[in-house]
């Protein structure tokens, strides 16, 4: 099996960290159940790391801006590494990811091995 | 003294004496330590048959063991040729005079050192358990063979090879340096858990032997808590886990389906004292910032000691399994998680996720699948 990164992006105007507690709890459960489902298949490789909201972006010409990289009003939230046979197989694992309910997206990228 | 008590005394003292004498001779001569101790028991059996049990049997054994050890030194001239380089200064006051220290502290220290020496990654894990049972728990070869559903020759070979490894890898008695203890402790805890599981999930029909194995696992765990550097949260978590399992020992079902479906156990057969102890160890384990798989398993096991199905119970168990799978995947944990998923999230989702597990060849998978399929529709 090969390794793939699943990168989660959430819409900028829908920051998951600004939410009422009960909703937070419900979303947390969705995430844990979804990730647990992947782990139950023996396909989890690593990750589950979350990225803090501060950051910097360096672009050509030495231009530095504050804050995370924002493009098309989406922002990278975190990532996991999974095991799959090929890109289609890895994409199947991404279905049901709670970020999709929030208007976000999952980017699936193979890792050079 | 009835035969059973004598056997227990010998078993307990075997481990202690071999540890102390090995400390003196070095691990290279572990068989010599075993022989001296076995010989001591033989002498004891004969003498006590004739003259009755002495008022302090333990002290009697230690005295005779010391005498035989000195005798061995002189007879084999090992002292001059091989052992002198290994002897610590506490053991000898002058050349030729040996003192075996059977104080409680030295016994405990020697056993701890022996535990780390035996649970060395250099030896195959089956061999580690066999060696632990023989050297640390004083089990006879027959008993070990029965526990593993094997025969004497195989076990003897396995132990022989393990001791050879100790020699060729030049394993020394002595606790690992402080910087390494946490990592080495993982291995020790793993072996202890394997030993305990041999007893708990054992195939052998000998229930007394099963209980003894579980008990020995717990005793070794307690030994670790008596030493500050090994009394870590994960040690207490493992102890909690063993206590919870052991508390339900008498209520275990013979039906394999019960393992995966948590069918009704007769809670009158649960040992309340062990559950209490388990909760104490669980509380002690809730410190520090390291979450081990034992912590998760212990919390799950503690939930199963509560009979009632409260609304939060299976949700909590599901989340614990989710976390456990992230650190430690195994098909059986995946199946157990799916059962918790059914209880927390419902039959439909459980069936969908069950299929994704791709465990069709697994017997328990089929049991769970049939169970979920034949449930009334929600």
Task: Specify the CATH number for the domain of residue A18.
Answer: 3.30.70.1060
B276 compared with B309, residue with greater pLDDT: B276
Cβ under 8 Å to B: A residues 39-98: 39-42, 44, 48
**A48 contacts in B (CB within 8 Å)?**
326
Taking only the tens place, the pLDDT of each residue in A21-76 is 888 888 889 999 999 999 999 999 865 666 666 777 777 777 777 777 766 667 77
Tokens of B123: 């030896």
pLDDT, chain B, mean = 87
Domain that holds residue A76: 2-110
State mean pLDDT over B127-133. 91
* C-beta atoms of A40 and B318 within 8 A: no
User: Which residues on A lie below 8 Å from B337 (Cβ)?
Assistant: 36, 40
List, for residues B47-57, the tens digit of each pLDDT value. 998 998 899 99
Considering its fold, how many domains does chain A have in total?
1
- pLDDT for residue B156 is more than 90: yes
Pairing, β A70-71 against β A56-59:
unpaired
Contacts of A47 in chain B (CB under 8 A): none
Which member of B325, B345, B358 has the closest CB to residue A39? B325
Lowest mean pLDDT among B112-121, B123-132, B206-215, B258-267: B258-267
SS (H, E, C) chain B: CCHHHHHHHHHHHHHHHHHHHHHHHCHHHHHHHHHHHHHHHHHHHHHHHHHCCCCCHHHHHHHHHHHHHHHHHHHHCHHHHHHHHHCCCCCECCCCCECCCCCHHHHHHHHHHHHHHHCCCCCCHHHHHHHHHHHHCCCCHHHHHHHCCCCHHHHHHHHHHHHHHHHHCCCCCCCCCHHHHHHHHHHHHHHHHHHHHHHHCCCCCCHHHHHHHHHHHHHHHHHHHCCHHHCCHHHHHHHHHHHHHHHCHHHCCCCHHHHHHCCCCCHHHCCHHHHHHHHHHHHHHCCCCCCCHHHHHHHHHHHHCCCCCCHHHHHHHHHHHHHHHHHCCCHHHHHHHHHHHHHHHCHHHHHHHHHHCCCCCCHHHHHHHHHHHCCCCC
* A positions 22-41 inside 8 Å of B (CB): 29, 32-33, 35-37, 39-41
Q: Identify which has the larger pLDDT, B269 or A43.
A: A43
**Structural contact between residues A82 and A37, judged by C-beta atoms closer than 8 angstroms:** no
Chain B nearest CA to A20, separation (Å): 21
What pLDDT does residue B241 have?
A: 96
| Chain B neighbors of A83, CB-CB under 8 A | none
Whether B233 contacts B189, CB under 8 Å: no
Whole-complex ipTM? 0.79
The answer to whether A40 contacts B358, with C-beta atoms less than 8 Å apart, is no
Chain A within 8 Å of B362 (Cβ-Cβ)?
no
Residues of A in contact with B326 (CB under 8 A): 35-36, 39, 44, 48
pTM: 0.82
Q: Is B332 an interface residue toward A (CB < 8 Å)? A: no
- The top-scoring range by mean pLDDT among B94-108, B207-221, B340-354 is B340-354
Q: Is B338 on the interface with A (CB under 8 A)?
A: yes
In A, minimum Cα distance to B338 occurs at A40
Closest Cα in chain B, distance from residue A64 (Å): 36
């Amino acid at each position: 099996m090969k390794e793939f990164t699943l990168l989660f992006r959430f819409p900028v105007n829908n920051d998951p960290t600004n939410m009422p507690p009960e909703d937070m709890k419900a979303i947390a459960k969705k995430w844990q159940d979804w990730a647990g489902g992947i782990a139950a298949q023996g396909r989890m490789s690593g990750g589950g790391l979350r990225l803090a909201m501060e950051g910097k972006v360096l672009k050509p010409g030495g231009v530095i801006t504050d804050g995370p990289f924002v493009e098309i009003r989406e922002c990278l939230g975190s990532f996991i590494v999974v095991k799959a046979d090929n890109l289609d197989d890895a994409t199947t694992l991404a279905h049901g990811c709670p970020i999709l309910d929030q208007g976000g997206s999952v980017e699936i990228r193979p890792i050079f091995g | 003294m009835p035969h059973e008590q004598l056997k227990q005394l010998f078993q307990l003292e075997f481990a202690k004496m071999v540890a102390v004498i090995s400390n003196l001779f070095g691990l290279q001569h572990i068989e010599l330590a075993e022989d001296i101790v076995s010989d001591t028991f033989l002498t004891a059996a004969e003498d006590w048959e004739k003259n009755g049990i002495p008022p302090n049997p333990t002290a009697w054994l230690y005295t005779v063991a010391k005498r035989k050890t000195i005798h061995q030194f002189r007879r084999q001239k090992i002292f001059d040729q091989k052992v002198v380089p290994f002897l610590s200064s506490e053991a000898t006051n002058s050349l030729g005079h040996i003192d075996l220290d059977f104080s409680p502290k030295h016994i405990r220290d020697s056993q701890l050192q022996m535990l780390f020496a035996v649970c060395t990654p250099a030896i195959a894990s089956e061999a580690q358990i066999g060696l632990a049972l023989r050297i640390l728990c004083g089990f006879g070869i027959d008993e070990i063979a029965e526990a593993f559903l094997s025969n004497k020759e195989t076990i003897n070979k396995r132990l022989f090879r393990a001791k050879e490894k100790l020699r060729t890898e030049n394993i020394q008695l002595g606790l690992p340096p402080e910087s390494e203890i946490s990592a080495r402790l993982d291995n020790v805890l793993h072996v202890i858990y394997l030993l305990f599981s041999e007893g708990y999930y054992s195939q052998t029909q000998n229930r007394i032997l099963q209980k003894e194995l579980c008990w020995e696992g717990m005793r070794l765990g307690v030994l670790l808590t008596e030493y500050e550097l090994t009394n870590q949260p994960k040690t207490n978590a493992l102890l909690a886990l063993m206590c919870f399992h052991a508390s339900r020992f008498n209520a275990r079902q013979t039906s394999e389906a019960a393992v995966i479906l948590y069918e009704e156990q007769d809670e009158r057969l649960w040992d309340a004292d062990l559950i209490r102890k388990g909760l104490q160890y669980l509380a002690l384990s809730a410190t520090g910032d390291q979450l081990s798989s034992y912590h998760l398993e212990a919390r799950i096991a503690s939930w199963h000691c509560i009979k009632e199905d409260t609304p939060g119970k299976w949700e909590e168990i599901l989340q614990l399994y989710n976390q456990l799978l992230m650190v430690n995947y195994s098909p059986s944990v995946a199946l157990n998680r799916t059962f918790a998923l059914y209880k927390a999230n419902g039959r439909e989702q459980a069936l969908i996720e069950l299929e994704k597990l791709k465990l069709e060849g697994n017997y328990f998978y089929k049991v769970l699948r049939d169970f979920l399929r034949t449930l009334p529709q929600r």
